[in-house]
Amino acid sequence: MILNAETWVSYLITHRRKSMPDSIKNLKTFKCPSLSGKSTLTYHLGCDEEQKVYVRIYNNTGNGFFSKEWVSLDLVNEALKNAAEPITSIAFFKLFKRQSVNTPSFLLAALKNEKLVQPIKGKQRCHELADPKPFLGKMQKLMSSKTKPKTVRKKAPMKKKAAVSRKKTAKTV
What is the structure's pLDDT at 11? 53
Quote the pTM value: 0.73
Per-10-residue mean pLDDT, the chain, length 173:
52 52 86 94 93 94 90 93 90 84 94 95 90 92 69 39 49 52
Strands (E), the chain: 25-33, 40-47, 53-60, 71-72, 117-119, 127-129
What is the structure's pLDDT at 119? 94
What is the structure's pLDDT at 14? 52
The answer to whether 93 touches 67, Cβ cutoff 8 Å, is no
Q: How many domains does the chain have?
A: 1
Q: How far apart are CA 32 and CA 81, in angstroms?
A: 24
CA 166 to chain centre: 40
Which residue segment(s) compose the domain that 16 sits in?
A: 5-172
What is the structure's pLDDT at 3? 47
What is the structure's pLDDT at 110? 96
Nearest to 138 by CA among 73, 92, 42: 73
* Other Cβ atoms closer than 10 A to 97: 9
Nearby residues of 39 by Cβ (< 8 Å), 6 or more positions away = 33, 60, 61, 62, 64
Ramachandran sector of residue 150 (left: φ over 0; alpha: ψ -120 to 50; beta: rest): beta
